[in-house]
Structure 1
């Protein structure tokens, strides 16, 4: 088995066409909304990239579902990229975009709690176990390769069971972002979702048991204080994770969309892009010139073991290599754009940037931004967590179809 995995990884590396060394150029480098000059800010650039949480294939974890695979090598790359884009949202939410690994004073408690959420254990909210089993409800067998749209839908469902973060996850349909729907989702009161969440970061899953707050103001106050300190403001605006699945061409990416794609990396709200090549997923975090910069999940590492309440050894969760690059024209047309808006003001600012830099400047729009919910669409109903004692992976088995088919992408004009 080890020999097979080694052979597979060698094939991946030979095919990825990455370039290790950064070029000597005056062109700016954009990384998730931050601009760098390679000649004068190379160390800052590398520090930024290495601070991103890097999730790769793992082996020797507990079998998925009890009898399934104990490694995701060869099939889990898009799931790992989904973990990376979500982890970046959580870092921005709790630590801020300017956070860097290894700052003086050590890593904050929130950093460890974020990392705990992604460990390769069945009881961690965003583990490979939870993500793979959540996809079973859409007919995706454990061990089957996912596309960016399906991963986005998996993240949206799993986020319902994460009371600590209480992210509002919006996945656009038909290449259209509806402002009215997003504001309805993010303004949804979080008080109705209060749970007896553990106050320590050692608990990777929050309780799914409903809490009877009754009419006691004291009870509500105690529950609110037990949650994350940001909870007080969540009745006004829940932090938004916005994912926009797109197909920018038929068999190959249409060059007319590349500039719009690059504009997305410049936005302060950028979380990057899920994409890659057929059956090869990468997490794209920026660009330089006509090349995209990405984190590559195609490295198999041994699963990290960690007990609740014990700091995770995070050495293998940060890539120490120079960032990899590939030509933008080599990108598969099926992608998903990611953005994070911590406040309503940040979302309004994002809408303005989209109007100015993408919609008004491009003859062919990469996606649409509309104010009102289209009348011919079904009514928008913000999703809520079912009042059952279950994890997301168990709940999925008793529901109807939850995801849109990977084939339901609207083909953009080419």
Structure 2
């Protein structure tokens, strides 16, 4: 079976265009909020793309659930794309947009901790194991195809168990982003974190003393100060599932879609073609640039000191492209806002560049919670001491499954 899938993936790769084949053009290339002149900044462009964490199919990992599949080849591409969009949020959170990966350089400790979150192990908080098993609560059997909305719901649930990265995940409903709800989510989550975390002041202890007592376990086993002092805003991962047409993308949405890649808060787009999920990170002209998860690699195990051979987690060939009109109409947009000022800036950009300039809006941005909607209740972490996959049965009643919004036609 793996041989058949590998042959199919190779056929996909053969027919994909390469960035090197781009025509000589004056048009800028946009990659996750950064623009490049392909004539003069090609090496910088390729370094940027190469620095994104690239998650692909893997094989020979510990069977999911103990008796399930030991490879996600053929079914896990959208889960891998979900990992990539989340990993980009974590890179922005801990390392910043200007950080670049170097093949022979010693990476920052935060980078290695981010990578550990996604290793193909049942105890990694965003592993294929955790995502596939948490998907059971969304009505998906292990080994079944996912759409972007289902992946977004899975990430939202798993993030509740992730104290180190401490993200607030908001997945929009009905093509509508509610500012009031997001601010409630980020500020309430931040207050709860202050109460629960040893990083926050408690009783008669000041913030300085609390910070001095806060230590986190690194992959190598060393202790260090809590990397994130208390704040009044929990960093936001915003995911907006959309359908931009019925069977094909409506051309009226294309300019607005491109504007999203220009925003400094951009995390890219989850989407693809029928049966093929891609992680779109930018565009040039009428073509989208993406990272392709359809390559099967052998699982990577961490070494005794916690370090990981990360060569296979960075796509070192030229990135792939596809015509924007070939995009399946169902996608999910991703954005990261590290603080409230960042979120307010994103709202302003959306109003100016997407809503005011379009007669047919890609999505709505509203100030107040719609009165005809059910009340907004921010999700809270269940009272358990481990990550979500081991508690599928106990958490089913805690999470109400969102309405299905399948993206890819399968």
- For normalisation by structure 2, the TM-score amounts to 0.90
Distance 2:2 2:134 in 1: 28
Cα contact 1:194–1:224 (8 A) shared by 2: no
Cα contact 2:72–2:143 (8 A) shared by 1: yes
Partner of 2:220: none
Partner of 1:95: 95
Partner of 1:221: 210
Distance 1:269 1:20 in 2: 24
Give how far 1:83 is off.
Answer: 0.3
Is 58-67 or 4-13 further displaced after alignment?
Answer: 4-13
Q: Secondary structure at the match of 2:361?
A: coil
Partner of 1:39: 39
Cα contact 1:61–1:71 (8 A) shared by 2: yes
Partner of 1:402: 400
Q: How many residues align?
A: 392
Partner of 1:152: 152
Distance 1:111 1:214 in 2: 30
Cα contact 2:149–2:405 (8 A) shared by 1: no
Partner of 1:328: 324
Give how far 1:405 is off.
Answer: 3.1
Cα contact 2:148–2:406 (8 A) shared by 1: no
Give how far 1:402 is off.
Answer: 3.5
Give how far 1:279 is off.
Answer: 1.5
Q: How does 1:130-169 map to 2 (within 5 A)?
A: 130-169=130-169
Partner of 2:6: 6
Partner of 1:371: 367
Q: Secondary structure at the match of 2:389?
A: helix
Distance 1:129 1:249 in 2: 33
Give how far 1:17 is off.
Answer: 4.2
Q: How does 1:14-413 map to 2 (within 5 A)?
A: 17-21=16-20, 22-102=22-102, 106-188=106-188, 189=191, 190-194=193-197, 215=203, 217=205, 221=210, 225-226=214-215, 229-234=226-231, 236-307=232-303, 309-398=305-394, 399-400=396-397, 402-407=400-405
Distance 1:45 1:193 in 2: 42
Cα contact 1:19–1:326 (8 A) shared by 2: no
Deviations 1:127-158 (A, max 9, x none): 00000000011220100010000000100000
Cα contact 1:194–1:223 (8 A) shared by 2: no
Which residues of structure 2 form unaligned runs of 5+? 217-224
Residues 238 and 283 of structure 1: CA distance in aligned 2, closer, same or farther (over 3 Å): same
Deviations 1:210-237 (A, max 9, x none): x9x9746379816873256453233x11
Residues 395 and 216 of structure 1: CA distance in aligned 2, closer, same or farther (over 3 Å): farther
Which residues of structure 1 form unaligned runs of 5+? 197-210, 410-414
Distance 2:203 2:305 in 1: 34
Q: Secondary structure at the match of 2:242?
A: strand
Distance 1:194 1:89 in 2: 22
Deviations 1:231-259 (A, max 9, x none): 3233x111110000000011111010010
Deviations 1:16-67 (A, max 9, x none): 6434423321100000000100000000000000000000000000000000
Residues 165 and 308 of structure 1: CA distance in aligned 2, closer, same or farther (over 3 Å): farther
Distance 2:348 2:374 in 1: 27
